[in-house]
Each structure stands twice: as structure tokens, then as C-alpha cells.
Amino acid sequence: MEKPSIKEVIVVEGRYDKNTLSQCVDATILSTEGFGIFNDKDKMELLRRCAEERGLIVFTDSDGAGFVIRRRIRGAIPAKYLKHAYIPDIPGKEKRKKVGSKEGTLGVEGMKSEVLISALLAAGATVERQESAKRGEEITKADFMALGLSGGENSAAKRSLLLEAWKLPKKLSAKGLLEAVNVLMSRQEFSEQAAALLQNGAEDHGQQQ
């Protein structure tokens, strides 16, 4: 069975939720790192930018913690950019966990594919045609290293130049920038724009010396 392609960016609580969901839908999936979103202004700014560009589906667990995170996102991003997907209350505990949730129910991680897909469709997820939904190759860490955006002496300065040009949070790490560009542009767009911006930046620096 071919995985449905979802236009909106989906935000979940953790990496296990992300892994589970990625097995049943073709979509850009970001994680709040649990309650980490409360202290991570750059991650929230990235979610806001994604919401404005493509729409955001909030897909947290249906326990107390999940609703706290959901309210935090709802309070930071205008409702017109948000859709909310909910999983049913199914008693149980994920196999990897020694202790289940306080409510004793399964989270996104423990749901079957058909339940997750059904929840997304009920939330109003936009399912794209497969031929138009393909976003091409992913931008990788190797691409960053090839452009000197990570692993180099001037990597931080080069990333700062791109962050400013693309109006992204200035404190985004290399990992955060990689996550952002994979949402906001294709690999070709990234390669062309980054190379041009870095070249112009190098020329400006040379003229100032």
C-alpha cells in the first residue's frame, strides 16, 4: 500500500512518534522534543515559519502532557495555520517503555498505521497526488559539509549569513538549519541559493579587507 503524501508539516512530541508516523505517511515531521519546546524559542519560530509556509498539523498524544504541549503551540501560532489531529484513548503501554503514561493509554508511537492515517484525515490533512508531492532528494549533512556550513573553521559565520538572508532564527544550530531548509526548499533550490549567498558573502568580505 502506497503511503499517502501530506502537504502540511506534522509536529509530534518525540523521535519515536516521528519514526512511527514516518512509516505510514509521506510527510515532513518535526518533533517538539517533549516539553523542550517551552524553552526553545528557535524551534517555536521554525514551527511558526513552517505553519505559514505549508500549514501545521499538531499531533501530540492524548494524555495530559500532550494537551499541555498542544496548548503551547496553539498560544504561539495563529489558529488559521493550525490543524489538530487526535488519537483515540486506547488502553496499553508501548513495548519499549517500562512504565506507561499516567492515564494508561497508548500514545502516537503505539498506534497502528490505519489509526494514525484516519486521525490525520479527520483533522483535514491535505493529501497530495503522488506525482506532485515528491519533493526530491533530501538535503543532507554531507551537503552542509561540502559548502562549509558544518565542520569548518568559518562554518558558524557562513550559517549566520544564510540564516539572515532566509530570515530564520539567528541562533539555529547546524542541525536546526538543516531541518529548516528541508521544510522550506528543495535540494536544488538550497544548493543554488546557498552557493550564491556564500559567494557574495566571500566577495563582500574580500572587498572590506
Q: Which residues of 106-139 are buried (b: 16+ CB within 10 A; e: fewer)?
A: bbbbbbeeebbbebbeebebebbeeeeeeeeeeb
Dump strand ranges (E) for 61-139: 82-84, 127-128
Confidence of residue 122 (pLDDT cuts 50, 70, 90): very high
Which pLDDT does position 121 carry in this prediction?
94
The answer to whether residues 86 and 125 touch, using CB atoms and an 8 Å cutoff, is no
Which pLDDT does position 155 carry in this prediction?
92
The answer to whether residues 21 and 12 touch, using CB atoms and an 8 Å cutoff, is yes
pTM of the model: 0.78
Torsion of CA 37, 79, 112, 108, to 10 degrees: 20
Residue range 87-97: average pLDDT? 81
126 vs 104 pLDDT, higher one: 126
